[in-house]
Amino acid sequence: MNIKHLLKTILILLCIVAIFAVAMFGLNFLTGPIIEANNKGAEFAPLLAVMPEAENFEEVTSTLAGVPESVIAIYKETSGKGFVVRAKASTQYSKEPMEITFGITADGKICGIQLDVYTDSIDFRSKDANYIDSYLEKDSALADIGTVSGATYSSTAFKGAVSEGFAALITNSLIAEGVKSDAQILGEMIPTLAPGMLKTEEVAVSGNIEKAWKAGNDAGFAYVVKNGEASFLALVNATGACKVYDVAGADVTDAQSAIADEAKAAASASQKSYTEDLNTKITRLYETATDITPVEVSTFNTVVAAASFKVDGADYYGFYSRSIGFHQMDVYFVIDANGAIAKMDAKQFIFDEEYFGNFGGMDVGAYKGGFEGLTTETWSGEQAVIATATMTSNAMKQSTDDAFAAFNAIKGGAQ
């Protein structure tokens, strides 16, 4: 190949490339705006699905302050009809975060809502087909929106994402905040005041009780009780202790003893007792255990039974905690009079091992032994970690924290 042929070839290639480049450049003037409009239409399709009467949208996320991480984007309907929020939420069962799109009218009510992405192993839509539609017409108070029985975590996450979307708009004064009823305010206090009541589900009420919830892990009951015009939140734990709070979150147990008595009576009728289970466990762990006596604890955590007992004259306390990991965890602790864990055991540590793709097994004896001797000072949480079993590790950590808290409450009144 001589230089002349090479140059000719290069020239031909360049000419052809130039011709196509010019053609495509010109064509881009015609198709560019149309393609952009098509892409915009595709982007706005989920927004139109929740606000069909919208004319156009403008993303305003970057112009807003205090937008939570769970809010993916906020779009303003350009003619003033309202806003569309795209939000995400995760649960411990999520492979990927669920994604939600919902429209909020200018007067602050949900006009459309849909679940765009959902990968949780438990689908709350199959357990309550009307749950998502129950959000329609609700304002930011989300009155009467509860959780789905059997899919508590995912429905709670769904509700949380919607609430955070509302909060972003309210914080920026784009919509008015919905007014919550006292019962709703009190109900929302439960996770804070009784963090051990997991997977709460609403149950039937009677008497002065306006609303009632049962902990899915049997850690107790929560009641909204009416007294005259005021409503109060009464919490009763599995050992029978009760506390009453007003809507400001103040402890009014002493002043509202009648409410406490009514709540205790209601709870005792339905509360499953774990005292016998704990006693049996204690006698298995210590064949010489004597004077096993049930103890009421004032903590509202995952401890469902507590007992004091003696072994060879020494004082011990037994605790039965029911936290939730991959499934329900049943964990027992024996703490000596000095506050050190003497023994720890559980009905089962690892559930559905096949779920853990990388789970390499665990030395149960060594794991349990690692807890012995731990006190609140030496317990860091790291001792509960089981490699590649995060959910179980977290549950074990919660149970250990709760057992120490219950012990401290018994010994010193502090929690």
Partner 1 sequence: MKNFFKNCLLRGTPSMVLALGSGFVMASSADIRAALGMGAAVLISMLLTSIVVSAIHKFIPAYAKLPVYLIIITGFVSIIQMLMQAFFPIVVDMLGAHLAALAVSAVIYRDAEEVADHNGEWHSIKTALSTGLFLTVIMVICALIREILGNATIWGVEIPFLANYKVSALAGAFGAYLVLACVLAAIKKLTGAHEHLEEEDCE
Residues that bind partner 1 (CB under 8 A): 1, 5, 8-9, 12-13, 16-17, 19-20, 23-24, 27-28, 30-31, 34-35, 38, 42
Measured from the CB atom, is 33 or 381 closer to partner 1?
33
How far is Cα 152 from Cα 324, in angstroms, rounded to an integer? 12
Measured from the CB atom, is 34 or 204 closer to partner 1?
34
Measured from the CB atom, is 3 or 65 closer to partner 1?
3
How far is Cα 393 from Cα 384, in angstroms, rounded to an integer? 6
Measured from the CB atom, is 26 or 361 closer to partner 1?
26
Measured from the CB atom, is 19 or 179 closer to partner 1?
19
Q: Minimum CB separation from partner 1 for residue 39, in Å?
A: 8
What is the total residue count of the chain?
Answer: 415
Dihedral pair phi/psi, residue 411, rounded to 5°: -75, -45
Strands (E), 122-190: none
Look-up: residue for tokens 């993303």? 59
Q: Minimum CB separation from partner 1 for residue 123, in Å?
A: 20
Q: Minimum CB separation from partner 1 for residue 27, in Å?
A: 6
Per the DSSP assignment, residues forming a β-bridge with 83 are: 76, 104
Measured from the CB atom, is 17 or 265 closer to partner 1?
17
Q: Minimum CB separation from partner 1 for residue 16, in Å?
A: 5
Q: Minimum CB separation from partner 1 for residue 391, in Å?
A: 34
Distances in Å between the Cα of 59 and the Cα atoms of 78, 114, 196, 357, 395 are 10, 19, 40, 40, 40
User: Cβ neighbours of residue 156 under 8 Å, at least 6 residues apart?
Assistant: 91, 147
How far is Cα 397 from Cα 400, in angstroms, rounded to an integer? 5
Q: Minimum CB separation from partner 1 for residue 41, in Å?
A: 8
Contact, 208 vs 225, CB < 8 A?
yes
In the Cβ-directed half-sphere of 110, how many Cα atoms lie within 13 Å?
Answer: 26
Containing 293, the helix (H) or strand (E) segment is strand 289-294
Q: Minimum CB separation from partner 1 for residue 36, in Å?
A: 10
Measured from the CB atom, is 25 or 357 closer to partner 1?
25
Contact, 58 vs 65, CB < 8 A?
no
Q: Minimum CB separation from partner 1 for residue 3, in Å?
A: 13
Dihedral pair phi/psi, residue 300, rounded to 5°: -115, 55
Instruction: For residue 251, give the DSSP letter.
Output: B
Contact, 367 vs 385, CB < 8 A?
no
How far is Cα 206 from Cα 235, in angstroms, rounded to an integer? 16
Dihedral pair phi/psi, residue 117, rounded to 5°: -130, 130
Q: Minimum CB separation from partner 1 for residue 33, in Å?
A: 9
Q: Minimum CB separation from partner 1 for residue 51, in Å?
A: 22
Measured from the CB atom, is 3 or 250 closer to partner 1?
3
Which candidate, 76, 39, 42, 73, places its Cα nearest to that of 56? 76
Q: Minimum CB separation from partner 1 for residue 112, in Å?
A: 23
Measured from the CB atom, is 27 or 179 closer to partner 1?
27
Dihedral pair phi/psi, residue 280, rounded to 5°: -60, -45
User: Strand, coil or helix: what is 36?
Assistant: helix
Measured from the CB atom, is 17 or 314 closer to partner 1?
17
How far is Cα 44 from Cα 376, in angstroms, rounded to an integer? 54
Measured from the CB atom, is 5 or 95 closer to partner 1?
5
Can you say how many angstroms the Cα of residue 199 is from the centroid of all Cα atoms in its chain?
9
